[in-house]
Structure formats: C-alpha cells, structure tokens
Amino acid sequence: MDFDVAQIDPQIAYKLMTSTITPRPIAWVTSLSEQGVVNAAPYSFFNAMGSNPATVVVGLLRDPKKGFKDTAANIMSRGEFVVNLVPESLAKQMNITSMDAPSDVSELSAAGLTARPSLHVTPPQIAESPVSFECVTHTTVVTGPGQVIAIGRVLGIRIDDAYILDADKGYIDTPALGMIGRLHGSGWYTRTQDSFQLDRPSYADWIEKSGLDKKE
C-alpha cells in the first residue's frame, strides 16, 4: 500500500514513520531557558551525522499547545544544548522528563536527577547518564509550525570511566552501557544487548567470491 503524505493526516504520517523507523536512539536533551531554568526532555528523532566536525541532529516536533517546545525555544535562543544518552537503568527517570511540565519547572528536579556542570557550554549534563555530548548550535531549520531540526556541533564528549576500554584508541565497552532505543507506539522501547556482527566486504573480495572475475 502506498501512502501519499500530502493526502493523509500528519498524525498518521507520524505513526507510519515511528512504527517503521526503528529502533531509534534517544537524545536526552538538557537546555537552559532565558530565565535560567534547566529543561530536560527525551527525543527519538536523533542521530550522529558526522565526525569531522563531530555533528549530531535532533528533530523537535511541535507541542500541541505551546508550538515550539521548551527545548526548541531554548536551543534557538541560546544556541547551546547537551545530548545525554539513556541506559535502561535510567528509563523511568527519562520517562518522567517527557511529561508536559510548565516552562518554569525543571524536569531534572522532578525526576530526581543531578545537574553536572559542562565544560564547554552553559546547559548542564545529566550526571547519572553515562554519556553526554556538549553541543553548540550549527544550524536550526524550522520545518513546519513549531517543528525544528537542530544540528549541533559537538565540542566535548563525556563518557564514564567505567566504560572506557582504551582511551587512546577510542575503545568503549558499548554493550556494558546498556542503552535503550525507541520503538513503535506509545511507551515502547527496546534494549540493545541482542546484536550480531557482519564484516564489511571489500569490492575485490566480493568480486572474487562471486566469481565475476573468472573468464567464461
């Protein structure tokens, strides 16, 4: 079945995308309002987009009442944010920060989380998160009423020492992080421990194994 996005309700398009683009990593974004309130909220329209320079992107959908969400407003006004990652051990706290709290309420406090000072930006990290990316805004693109894409240039990466295998080589104990991802529908998540590995082939190896280099 083909869906013409221009002809269907935007909420149906949202369901079609979130039900099929899975799993999605979660950006637990901390930002700072003009009044100095620390905002924390999870977003699953998120990923890494480059490494030189290190770049991440976060999609911030429209709030049905306020238009721009607090995170989007803070990023656009201050030009800084922190992406913290979410292990399974913090799933409940992450879920608390997804509530529709007023702009003058800090979700960090509501979830019993600790603000950790950042080294390169003003918004704090979530101390309990094992990984944090300190970002300055490279670009924000308003893609619809109250909908924003924020591209961040990563200035600093903090990873808990317990997960560092070899700092000089950049080796991290990724399975031990126990990260979770977003799935379809309301409230569905996945663990990342179930994995498999494939070696990336070279073209020369593929030619050899396929027998295409052999003359008839």
CATH fold for the domain made of 5-210 = Pnp Oxidase; Chain A (2.30.110)
Domain spans in the chain, listed from the N-terminal domain onward? 5-210
Provide the pLDDT confidence category of residue 1 given band limits of 50, 70 and 90: very high
| pLDDT score recorded for residue 153 | 98
What tens digit of pLDDT does each residue of 117-135 get? 999 999 999 999 999 999 9
Q: What is the pLDDT of residue 207?
A: 87
Residues 108 and 94: their CA atoms lie apart, in Å, by 9
Candidates 113, 105, 49; CA nearest to 84 is: 113
Exposed / middle / buried, residue 203 (Cβ in 10 Å: 0-12, 13-18, 19+):
exposed
pLDDT digits (tens, 9 = 90+) for 142-199: 999 999 999 999 999 999 999 999 999 999 999 999 999 999 988 999 999 888 999 9
d(CA 148, CA 83): 16
Percent of the chain with pLDDT over 70: 98
